[in-house]
Amino acid sequence: MSDATLTPDLIAFIKQAKDRQEIQDCLLRYTRGVDRHDKALMQSAYHPDAWDEHGVADGDPEAFCSWAIGWHGEFQHRHQHVINNHTVELDGDTAHSETYYLFFGENREGPPTLAFGRYIDRFEKRDGKWAIAHRVCVNEYAGAFNAVDVPAEYRAQMKATGPDTRDRNDVSYVRPLTKDRHRAA
Q: What is the tens place of the pLDDT at every residue in 108-134? A: 999 999 999 999 999 999 999 999 999
135 and 97 in a common domain: yes
Is 3 part of a structural domain of the chain? Answer: no
Which pLDDT score, from 0 to 100, does residue 51 have? 98
Q: Report the domain count for the chain.
A: 2
Same domain, 118 and 136: yes
Bridge partners (DSSP) of residue 122 are 96, 134
Distance between CA 164 and CA 69 in Å, rounded? 16
* Residue 2, in any domain of the structure: no
Contact 42/126 with Cβ under 8 angstroms? Answer: no
- Structural domain includes residue 1: no
CB atoms within 10 A of CB 36: 19
Do residue 77 and residue 12 come from a single domain?
Answer: yes
Q: Are residues 15 and 33 in the same domain?
A: yes
Same domain for 95 and 165? no
Together in a domain, 12 and 103: yes
Residues 50, 137, single domain; the answer is: yes
Q: What is the DSSP letter of 162?
A: -
What is the reported pLDDT for 101?
A: 97
Report in angstroms the alpha-carbon separations of 142 from 2, 102, 113: 54, 10, 7
Domain that holds residue 59: 8-147
Q: Give, as one character, the DSSP assignment of residue 74.
A: H
Q: Could you give the CA distance from residue 30 to residue 119 in angstroms, rounded to a whole number?
A: 11
Residue 179 pLDDT: 77
Between vectors from CA 180 to CA 82 and to CA 158, what angle results, nearest 5°? Answer: 45
Domain match, 136 and 162 both: no
Residue 103, domain CATH: 3.10.450.50
The pLDDT value given to residue 150: 80
* The pLDDT value given to residue 146: 84
pLDDT < 50 positions in the chain? 184-185
Judge whether 104 lies within some domain. yes
pTM equals 0.87
